[in-house]
Amino acid sequence: MASVMEAFNASATAYANAREATILATDSSLISNIVNNVNIFSVFFTLFAIAVAYDQVTYWRLKANIAGEPLKIPFVGPFHESVKPSFEKYYAKWLTGPLSCVSVFHKFVIIASTRDMARKIFNSPTYVKPCVVDVAHKLLRAENWVFLDGKAHVEYRKGLNGLFTRQALETYLPGQQEVYRDYFQEFCDITSRNDGAPKPFVYMFRELMCAVSCRTFVGHYMSREGVKQIADDYYNITAAMELVNFPIIIPYTKTWYGKKAADQVIEAFSNCAAKARVRMRQKGAQPECIIDRWLLQQMESERYRERIAKGEEVPDEEKPQQLLRNFSDYEISMTVMTFLFASQDATSSACSWIMQLLADRPEMLAKVREEGLRIRPDPRSDVTLEMLENMHWTRACVKETLRYRPPVIMVPYLVKKDFHIPESNYTAKKGSMIIPSTWLSLHDPEVYSDPDTYDPERWISGNAEEQGKNWLVFGTGPHYCIGQTYAVLNLICLLHMMASELEWTHEITPTSEQIRVFATIFPMDDLRLSFRQKVDGETGVAA
Ligand code: HEM
């Protein structure tokens, strides 16, 4: 038995050993096969595939039920489209639904296209705050007031309201007219140098708007060369402000040039604030520009505080309307920079379209001229605020331009906490960018009949003026444009003066009506114009 067992055991042992040996052999060949086949590329490929899958699943999770491409181009998304944005593509996107999305690099972007959806975003400060574009924090400085949120923002903004009152706007007008007249002459000279032939003018209008803004903001504290430098620098700032940028600033890229330019502009405005501080301390100094006015208000507030500190009983009527703290030159400069940032592209866009649309509609331009002649018969006299307020047709042309070609088509906001939007049964996740767009609201056929026709009359005999809910040109909610009254009056002033003093001709090309997106919107052909000064007989003044 024992021998049988031994034999069995022996044979069993021999069998087991053999099987183990086989298994071991198989295992080690599998492992060595794997090890042999594992190289850096397959590790990389596996990790890459996991990352692609993760990127894709994250996109689906954030996208949920809203419109958007079913698949994301791994990691980058449609980055190429944000490098060269096309109006047609944006427009097509807005039509895909009230909420749609796109994911570029790590950024998930939600687009709110309809009036009600856009308004909802603008009016939800608990969930969203303006984010301009990512790189704006680096260019405008993270501590800038425009990035303040909630109560801090409301308080800071209140202190700026005094810079845009009717009385304040009136004091900026002489400086604006001075700039316009200077540039009108230059426009005519440009045409003469070009033998009377039309030339692209959008760049010149950018400079004009920069000059008029600088004069309004910092008066004569900056030389014409300084303004020209800022206009040139500013182009680099706009170029850097693409909707989605590479996350870090790499030397010699657009964002690098943009940052350099922003630093220079902030320094230039700081110098202006320092000069204004000296001038405004002089007895009887009158404010001529925004920084003058702001400093004056700060000085008045300080004087009031001093009187109170001395125990004086100050009558209520001597208390400044708004008690301001003192702001340093640097703080003033950063704030003025935000005004320039907010106004430069938008007003350049508006001004370009006004010039094009009216040159192409001579009968409407003739009415601007008639109105101007009636209200300011002598084109050499000063334009007053009261005159501008009475130019109803000119105002209608400006407002219709802003509706028909709204300069700001999108306003990027950042979702600061998960934001449920019941209308779409969708939750925008914290950290996403959410962008209300203004176009569909301003081209809503139920509110503006025949919305793709330029028709200033709708502001006179029609009911366009009553459609406040759709008028998103300047946004709405706590961040609505602080400069809107100034912007509209300034454009009325420009159109009126231009129509009174100049003749301009637009060369219509096949792309004149098409839209180029460069932060705001411009005619695709860069607006080919020629100018000539009117002679006295043509201005209504006897030759
Ligand atoms: C045609 C010209 C202009 C257009 C179309 C325009 C449009 C806009 C829009 C759409 C917004 C965002 C509003 C929102 O988020 O609800 C805005 C904000 C702003 N705009 Fe304008 N703007 C123009 C001119 C100006 C001018 C001339 C100034 C300054 C003098 C200015 C200063 C600002 C500022 C400071 C903000 C940010 C306000 C805040 O965050 O509280 N804008 N603008």
pLDDT in tens, 74-119: 888 887 777 778 999 999 999 999 999 999 888 899 999 999 999 9
- Beta pairing, strands 515-518 & 520-523: antiparallel
Q: Which of 133, 481, 482, 493 to mutate to test the pocket of ligand 1 (most atoms within 8 A of CB)?
A: 481
* Domain locations along the chain: 137-539
| Residue 542, CA distances (Å) to 346, 367, 538 in order | 38, 20, 8
- Beta pairing, strands 199-200 & 528-533: antiparallel
- Beta-strand ranges (E) seen in 105-207 are 107-112, 128-130, 199-200
What is the sign of the dihedral through the CA atoms of 25, 26, 31 and 32?
A: positive
The alpha-helical segments, DSSP class H, found in 194-328 are 202-218, 224-240, 254-280, 290-309
Place of tokens 């574009």: 133
Q: Which of 124, 294, 474 to mutate to test the pocket of ligand 1 (most atoms within 8 A of CB)?
A: 474
CA distance 115 to 119: 6
Tell me, what DSSP letter sits at residue 223?
A: -
Instruction: Express each pLDDT in 452-507 by its tens digit.
Output: 999 999 999 999 999 999 999 999 999 999 999 999 999 999 999 999 999 999 99
Q: What residues are in contact with ligand 1 under a 6 Å CB criterion?
A: 122, 130, 146, 157, 338-339, 342-343, 346-347, 350, 407-408, 411, 473-477, 479-483, 486-487
- Work out which ligand 1 atom sits closest to the CA atom of 491: 1
Nearby residues of 5 by Cβ (< 8 Å), 6 or more positions away: none
CA distance 63 to 52: 16
- In the predicted model, what is the mean pLDDT of the chain? 90
**What pLDDT shows up at residue 82?**
72
440 and 462 Cβ atoms separated by less than 8 Å: no
CA distance 13 to 5: 11
CA distance 233 to 265: 8
Place of tokens 């005519």: 188
Whole-number Å distance, alpha carbon 438 to ligand 1 midpoint, is 13
Q: What is the pTM of this model?
A: 0.89
- Name the residue with the closest Cα to ligand 1, atom 25: 343
Tell me which CATH code domain 137-539 carries: 1.10.630.10
Instruction: Express each pLDDT in 256-291 by its tens digit.
Output: 888 888 899 999 999 999 999 999 999 999 999 999
Spans of the chain, pLDDT less than 70: 1-38, 132, 242-247, 536-543
**What pLDDT shows up at residue 15?**
42
- Work out which ligand 1 atom sits closest to the CA atom of 160: 35
